Amino acid sequence: MRVAVLASGRGSNFQSILNASERGKLPNCKIKLLIVNKKEAYAIERAKKHNVPYYIIESKNKKREEFDLEMLEILKSNKIEIVVLAGFMRILSKQFISEYKDKIINIHPSLLPKFPGAHAHRDAIEAKAKISGCTVHFVDEGVDTGPIIMQESVAVDIDDDEHTLSEKILPIEHKIYPKVLDLLTSNKLKIINGKVITETD
Ligand code: GRF
């Protein structure tokens, strides 16, 4: 399947997908392109290094619909089938989501539905949570609300802060995101009544 990655910054999850792909762990997945909405996104360097075509569409001062239409044009002209959000810090329009219904996935650094939004680590620390983790989910019209595909937890220690918690969660993100992408591109995920069923071999 033809896959596009959307990112806004560091791109370490994009890197984990590139690595998995180069190691032959994503046999049904072709990373065709990267789209970033910020020209300073480090994800661009990763794309260059791995010869992945990239597009910079500056989102600043642009209406959501206009920005999303520009993305859709690129995705459609490249026959993209699956969209992977990897630290993409923008909410997608209804139109974009309906064009790629059940074909967009996101990774979030908490055990959803706990701590959605842009400050998941800080919110987990402030709530004095004992466990947190990460979630890969399908994207629907809400913020971090779509059907959950895979989750993994970590213990939050008494002396953890936002930074140490994110350092604990990130390696797990890098482990589960390629796994989910493999399942999705191998047609092993189904959504039944809002619940994701994973087909096992
Ligand atoms: C990750 O923590 C991811 O869960 C969240 O944004 C962060 C992106 O990091 N959605 P990176 O750009 O992939 O390094």
pLDDT per position as a tens digit, 48-96: 999 999 999 999 889 999 999 999 999 999 999 999 999 999 999 999 9
Give yes or no for residue 201 having a pLDDT over 70: no
Q: What is the CATH number of the domain that holds 56?
A: 3.40.50.170
Q: Whose CA is nearest to atom 8 of ligand 1?
A: 87
Parent domain of 9? 2-198
- The confidence band for 18, taking pLDDT boundaries of 50, 70 and 90, is very high
> 69 — phi, psi (to 5°)?
-65, -40
3-state secondary structure of 195: strand
- Please tell me the total count of domains within the chain: 1
- CA dist 59 and 93 (Å) reads 13
Q: If pLDDT is split at 50, 70 and 90, which confidence band does 200 have? A: confident
Distance 63 CA to ligand 1 centre (A): 24
Q: How far apart are CA 141 and CA 200, in angstroms?
A: 28
Residues serving a catalytic function are 108
Closest approach atom of ligand 1 to CA 42: 12
> How many CB atoms sit inside 10 A of residue 146's CB?
24
Q: Tokens 């560091």 map to which residue?
A: 10
Contacts of 136 (CB under 8 A, 6+ apart): 105, 106, 107, 108, 148, 149, 150, 151, 176, 177, 180
Q: Is 168 in the pocket of ligand 1 (CB under 6 A)?
A: no
Residues present in the chain in total: 201
Instruction: State if pTM tops 0.85.
Output: yes
For range 131-146, the mean pLDDT = 97
- Tokens 């589960």 belong to residue: 176
DSSP string covering 107-175, please? EESS-TTSS-STTHHHHHHHTT-SEEEEEEEE--SSSS-SPEEEEEEEEPPTT--HHHHHHHHHHHHHH
Atom of ligand 1 nearest to the CA of 12: 14
Check if 10 has its Cβ closer than 6 Å to any atom of ligand 1.
Answer: yes
